[in-house]
Every structure is written in structure tokens, then in C-alpha cells.
């Protein structure tokens, strides 16, 4: 069974009544609930736990990590960022959610600023599937609509995604590459746009479906860990059917 660790800052839910009204037990609780409903083995971790809840042991037992942060990216310890980075390159999946676009770990993996345009306006958002054969698009049909969300607009300063699965339309006039797949090292990374803290998007069935599909995709079969070293001779590679 795929083991998922759901990580969030869990700050605004405790400090900001507007956020607490939407997610009284924290965003992580609701994301975790959706993933348990999809039959994953789920634990949570948050910023203010020791090691942010992301010890070597926790990461070793995590197949896919989901990441939501917003106001406290700078408080994430660089040691933990490097630990997560190493695990991703070694094969752990990573699902970066909404304002996690500015997290240290996402910028570390992308190599770019990950900047974008935004508007806290309650725009209507329509997410369109542009790669219907992709596993993350399974059961989404043409896409789905969120009645009110923060707007994120292009240009989104990320590498061109290895696969682009979703594009968002906003009622105010913008578009955004909302579902972006990357492979780095042996790890799979998915950026998924929705999820502002004042909107109940993580309770929406379409959003939940995307996250569950993404976790299944990111936990998919991995190749072997390649050796990379001085090679006095080329390896024999005589057979490898097993």
C-alpha cells in the first residue's frame, strides 16, 4: 500500500479566523482525509514539529510526500530541504500544492524562481484536461470547476513541464498551467495549482481526485538506482531479465 506523508505549515489555520473557519483542524487533516478515502496509507507532518516532522525515518517510510506552504517558507530548515531533495532524487514522489510553488524544495528542484501572477479575488476557476491519456487525468472527463479560488496567472517561471495535464481558466481573464509533471533523478514531481487557504478546495471531489491520481502516479514503479562512479572498464551487462 502506498505510504503518503501530507505536510503543511499549519499556521494560518491557528492564527487567522478566516482560515480556521474553512479548515478548523488544518489543511493537512482534510488532504489526508481525501487520500485515506482513496485507500492510501496516510500520515501527516507540520512545520512546528521537531524536524518539521520530516526525519530520515519518516522520509524512508514515505513513498509520496505532499507539500502545502504559504507564509513560512523561509522557516523551513535547509537541512530538511536537502533531506527531502535527496529522497526525491532517490525515488520518493512529491506533490506540490498551490502556494507551495514558492517553497524551498520546489525552487530547489526546478532551478528557477517559480514566480507567477496572483489575485485574491475569488475568481471562478475552470480546470481543463489537456492530456486525457495521462494517469492523473483518469476519471476527470473534460475537467471541473471551482466556484471561487485565488487566481494564479502566467507567466509561471518553471521549466517547461515534462507533461502538461491541466490548464486553468479564470473568470478575470487569465490562464495557468495548473497540472505539471516533472521527473528528476528517480523521482516524480507534480505541481497542482488549487488550494488557497480561504477556499474549501481540498474538499472538492475533482481536486481530491487529481491529488489521489497524482499520488498513484508519483508512487509508480521505479527503475534501479544507477551507480555513477569511476569505471576502469565498461560494465558487462550480460543479462537482466529479472
Task: Give the up-direction half-sphere exposure of residue 119: CA atoms within 13 A in the CB hemisphere.
Answer: 16
- Under the criterion CB under 8 A, does residue 28 sit at the interface with its own copies? no
Query: Per CB under 8 A, which of residues 164..193 are in contact with its own copies?
Result: 164, 167-170, 172-175, 177, 182-188
Please state the length of the chain: 242
CB 3 within 8 A of CB 41: yes
Our CB check for its own copies shows the closer of 3 and 206 to be 206
User: Site residues for its own copies, window 70-129 (CB under 8 A)?
Assistant: 89, 91, 108-113, 115-119, 121, 126, 128-129
Nearer to its own copies, 20 or 161 (CB): 161
Nearer to its own copies, 34 or 53 (CB): 34
Name which of residues 148 to 167 contact its own copies (CB under 8 A): 151, 153-157, 159-160, 162-164, 167
Q: What are phi and psi of 73, to 5 degrees?
A: -55, -40
Q: Is residue 36 close enough to count as binding its own copies by CB under 8 A?
A: no
Q: How far apart are CA 48 and CA 43, in angstroms?
A: 16
**Least separation in angstroms between CB 226 and its own copies:** 4
The least CB distance from residue 217 to its own copies, in Å, is 9
**Exposed e or buried b for every residue in 126-154, given b needs 16+ CB within 10 A?**
bbbbebeebebbeebeebbebeebbbbbe
Looking at the Cβ atoms of 40 and 156, the one nearer to its own copies is: 156
Give, as ranges, the residues between 39 and 58 that touch its own copies (CB under 8 A).
none
Helix (H) or strand (E) holding 8: strand 3-8
Q: How many residues bind its own copies (CB under 8 A)?
A: 87
> With contact defined as beta carbons under 8 Å apart, do 4 and 41 qualify?
yes
Amino acid at each position: 500500500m502506498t505510504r503518503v506523508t501530507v505536510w503543511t505549515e499549519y499556521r494560518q489555520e491557528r492564527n487567522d479566523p478566516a482560515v480556521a473557519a474553512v479548515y478548523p483542524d488544518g489543511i493537512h487533516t482534510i488532504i489526508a482525509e481525501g487520500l485515506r478515502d482513496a485507500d492510501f496509507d496516510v500520515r501527516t507532518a507540520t512545520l512546528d514539529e521537531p524536524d518539521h516532522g520530516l526525519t530520515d525515518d519518516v522520509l524512508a517510510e514515505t513513498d509520496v510526500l505532499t507539500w502545502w506552504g504559504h507564509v513560512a517558507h523561509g522557516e523551513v530548515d535547509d537541512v530538511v530541504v536537502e533531506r527531502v531533495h535527496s529522497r526525491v532524487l532517490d525515488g520518493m514522489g512529491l506533490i506540490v500544492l498551490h502556494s507551495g510553488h514558492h517553497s524551498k524544495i520546489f525552487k530547489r528542484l526546478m532551478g528557477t524562481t517559480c514566480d507567477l501572477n496572483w489575485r485574491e479575488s475569488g475568481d471562478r476557476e475552470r480546470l481543463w484536461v489537456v492530456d486525457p491519456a495521462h494517469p492523473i487525468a483518469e476519471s476527470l472527463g473534460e475537467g471541473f470547476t471551482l466556484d471561487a479560488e485565488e487566481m494564479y496567472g502566467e507567466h509561471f517561471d518553471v521549466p517547461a513541464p515534462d507533461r502538461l495535464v491541466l490548464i486553468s481558466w479564470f473568470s478575470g481573464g487569465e490562464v495557468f498551467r495548473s497540472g505539471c509533471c516533472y521527473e528528476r533523478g528517480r523521482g516524480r514531481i507534480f505541481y497542482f495549482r488549487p488550494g488557497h487557504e480561504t477556499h474549501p478546495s481540498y474538499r472538492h471531489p475533482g481536486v481530491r481526485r487529481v491529488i489521489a491520481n497524482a499520488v498513484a502516479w508519483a508512487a509508480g514503479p521505479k527503475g534501479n538506482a544507477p551507480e555513477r562512479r569511476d569505471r576502469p572498464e565498461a560494465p558487462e551487462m550480460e543479462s537482466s531479465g529479472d
